Chain A
Amino acid sequence: MSTTQKLSIKGLKIGHDQEQFDLLVSTVRGLVGEAGTVTAKEKISDSGLRIRSRHAVAQNSQFADIKIRFHGASADVGIYVSPEGQIEMAWDGYVVRGNTQLKDTFEGRSDRQTFEKNLNAAFVGETLRATAERKGFGTSELKRVSNKKEKTGHFELELDTGGFGLSAFNEKKQTNSLNGSLGGSF
């Protein structure tokens, strides 16, 4: 017998704060769109939401922080934030089989990996957007651009930096910066 079990979404982590949780919820809502209903805890400190599955649900996966019920499904997808901030997801393939809205959004795909990749990219994009806004930059909305021919998509965002840093550059600095590495500070 199968077991519904949460798994990590790459290395995606958030801090234990309400603002980041709210951003995660709104990102999930945006991705699911018309394909289903998203229910989320109001506060990150609230009790989890029990998920339904056709299978036994692993003990550590029974209560999710965000729950998705795709149209036509009789079971849930769970999204979890671990105490360490790791974002995890429990997704059984049958839950979304035949969901046309999801296929329309993701170029004919409705599998876990596609949703996970898109959630990862969208949440990073939304976090960059929110950070830029907080630091005084102008920002556009994050939009998903579909490439139906190649069965993929990407997210785009435009930032207006005002006059930030434009007078501070010189040739040496420019060369050095391009040789640098972002390192592990993210």
Chain B
Amino acid sequence: MGKIKVIISEEGTITIEAKEGFEGKSCQEAIDHIMNNLPTGFEFDELETIRHGNFSIVAENEPQAYLQKE
């Protein structure tokens, strides 16, 4: 079982934390599953996503910023 916490700031930053069940693994696939299935026509272009993809392994992968608009 995996638990993910999503935090969205007023400034438009989404922080995603893998809380449980992802020991040694990334929660990226679960997040992509949601992002790839957003409703048709739904768009937001000024949000920045920071993913803590590997919650249980400290500092192996630093959180990285992803801009949604290139």
Contacts and interface: CB of A to CB of B under 8 A. Distances in A.
Interface residues of B, number: 49
Contact of A12 (B11, B28, B32, B43): B43
Given A121-B12, A134-B37, A186-B44, A161 B27 contact: yes
A128 B32 CA distance: 11
Max chain B Cβ within 10 angstroms of own Cβ: one of A17, A132, A165: A165
Contact of A177 (B35, B45, B53): B53
A182 B44 CA distance: 12
Interface in A144-186: 152-166, 168-169, 173-175, 177-178, 180-186
B8 A124 contact: yes
Given A178-B53, A182-B66, A165 B30 contact: yes
Nearest to B23: A166
A118 interface: yes
A101 to B, nearest CB: 18
A120 B14 CA distance: 12
A131 B25 contact: no
A135 B29 CA distance: 13
A3 interface: no
Interface string B28-70: 1110111111111111111101010110000001001011111
**Closest 10 CB pairs between A and B?**
A15-B41, A11-B45, A165-B29, A177-B28, A161-B2, A13-B43, A117-B10, A169-B25, A161-B30, A157-B6
Interface of A: 10-17, 19-20, 85, 114, 117-118, 120-122, 124-125, 127-128, 130-132, 134-135, 137, 152-166, 168-169, 173-175, 177-178, 180-186
Interface of B: 1-12, 14, 19, 21-22, 25-30, 32-47, 49, 51, 53-54, 61, 64, 66-70
